[in-house]
Amino acid sequence: MAVQQLRKAVDTLGLEEEVFHILRHPERLIQVRINIRLRDGRRATFLGWRSQHNSALGPYKGGVRYHPNVTVGEVVALSMWMTWKNALAGLPYGGAKGGIRVNPRVLSREELEELSRKYIVALMNDIGEERDILAPDVYTDQQVMAWFVDAYSLAKGIPAWGITTSKPSELGGLRARVVSTGYGVALCCRIFADRFLGGLEDRTVAIQGFGNVGRHAALYLSKWGAKIVAVSDSRGGVYDEKGLNIEDLVKVKETRGSVIHYDKGRVITNEELLLLDVDILVPAAIENVINESNAPKVKAKIIVEGANGPVTPGADDVLRRKEVIVVPDILANSGGVIMSWIEWCSNRMGCWVEEEEAMKRLERRMTNVAKQLIDLWERRYGDKDLRTVAYVVAVDRVVRAMKLRGWI
Ligand code: NAD
């Protein structure tokens, strides 16, 4: 998918074939072998990677995931997406991603800590607050970031807060980071509804996924007057055409584990949720859920990609023909990385930004990026889907920087 999307952008921009070949590979790909001592005295060995895709616009930046199925190809593709996401948001960053092939759920806290610290030690000379900045991803959290900071700081002999973002607030993190991706998704819904549906008030919305992204997007959207008619999690969804009470749903999810236990409304499947007759659909759970087989039956007017890669390239073509607007992930879920950048700036200045100010800066940045993209789409690329236009902006920024620097 990553290579296909790059192909489209390179062709749309009319760039030379050699540019495609430069950008389809990471600048650097590091593999590390980590071994740790288990509780029972045995030693276990794990493979980890860091893919540093591009640094034309600044230091590499991207998360680290711990998952038993992580592959090197996945890490490379994700690092390329980070390059475009950061470039589109106008951040002074390149793109990177890391991963360790491990099931963190079977490790004790001490084992996880040793694994995390050794990953940093193995990458010590390849990362840094001016070189490559890490962040959480699947199954890594603020505690893992705190271990990363400590391992790096101890080895370098300096407190290096800027080596990761999304840290605990005691270590220079921002509490606003938790809501920032969902807030950005909600902002995108509002901006696109204002522009293409005549406003957000009373527009119907269905949200797949009620985790960090989906839940916060739902809370902001309902506060701003949208009517959330359906939400779901991995166990299924709940639908009420009169609108759901999101605060009650948050409580149900926290106390009973799933939104399907909400007692008002009708229980539906995840597949049904995607095909509801709503104004806005927000897939905020996992990838590839809207594909060639269900895209012809989608009734939403606007899809805002809260998750990474929920709409496949085949579905993109179907939806474009149906004139459904797809707000691409590299814009829609960039609120998290924008907030991470605000955290990193504040860490490097040694002057902690206030939470309220951070939220205002995020809103300004996302609104400007989204509006400029819509403007370019309408002026120059009306025959393309919005994803291609977003890629065009991002790839163009990276290519210009590379050219000026002499093709690094
Ligand atoms: P999360 O783990 O907090 O929540 C995921 C939600 O999806 C849960 O409610 C879970 O029950 C649900 N889910 C899982 N499998 C499902 C399935 N098969 N069908 C329907 N629902 C299912 O994760 P999150 O942080 O909210 O991330 C969601 C997506 O957003 C991921 O694609 C992630 O990569 C992307 N994303 C997250 C952030 C962030 O800051 N959290 C930033 C950018 C992108």
How many whole angstroms separate alpha carbon 67 and alpha carbon 37?
Answer: 19
CA 332 to chain centre: 8
Report how far ligand 1's centroid is from the alpha carbon of 210 (Å): 7
Atom of ligand 1 nearest to the CA of 285: 7
For ligand 1, atom 22, which residue shows the shortest CA distance? 234
pLDDT of residue 124: 97
Phi first, then psi: give them for residue 170, nearest 5 degrees: -65, -25
pLDDT of residue 355: 94
Q: Along the chain (408 residues), what's the average pLDDT of each consecutive run of 10 residues? A: 92 95 97 97 97 98 97 97 98 98 96 98 97 95 97 96 96 94 98 98 98 97 98 97 97 97 96 98 96 98 96 94 97 97 96 94 98 96 94 97 91
For ligand 1, atom 29, which residue shows the shortest CA distance? 307
Fold of the domain built from segment(s) 178-332: Rossmann fold (3.40.50)
Report how far ligand 1's centroid is from the alpha carbon of 370 (Å): 22
Report how far ligand 1's centroid is from the alpha carbon of 308 (Å): 9
Classify the phi-psi angles of 202: left when phi > 0, otherwise alpha if psi is within -120 to 50, otherwise beta: left
Location of each CATH 3.40.50.720 domain in the chain: 178-332
Location of each CATH 3.40.50.10860 domain in the chain: 25-161
State the catalytic residue, choosing from 97, 167, 227, 253. 97
Q: Which two tokens stand for residue 267?
A: 């229980």
- Residues touching ligand 1 (Cβ under 6 Å) are 181, 208-214, 232-234, 270, 284-286, 306-308, 333, 336
Report how far ligand 1's centroid is from the alpha carbon of 253 (Å): 14
Class of domain 25-161: alpha beta
Atom of ligand 1 nearest to the CA of 180: 40
Report how far ligand 1's centroid is from the alpha carbon of 283 (Å): 9
For ligand 1, atom 32, which residue shows the shortest CA distance? 307
For ligand 1, atom 38, which residue shows the shortest CA distance? 181
pLDDT of residue 407: 84
Atom of ligand 1 nearest to the CA of 258: 11
For ligand 1, atom 19, which residue shows the shortest CA distance? 234
Residue closest to 221 by CA, chosen among 233, 231, 235, 232: 231
Model pTM? 0.95
For ligand 1, atom 14, which residue shows the shortest CA distance? 234
Per-position b or e across 223-257, b if 16+ CB within 10 A of its CB: eeebbbbbbbbeebbbbeeebbebeebbebbeeee
| Annotated catalytic residue 97 | yes
Report how far ligand 1's centroid is from the alpha carbon of 158 (Å): 35
Atom of ligand 1 nearest to the CA of 138: 34
Report how far ligand 1's centroid is from the alpha carbon of 90 (Å): 25
C-alpha R_g of the chain: 21
Q: Which two tokens stand for residue 69?
A: 């199925």
Atom of ligand 1 nearest to the CA of 214: 26
Pocket test for ligand 1, best of 185, 212, 274, 275 (most atoms within 8 A of CB): 212
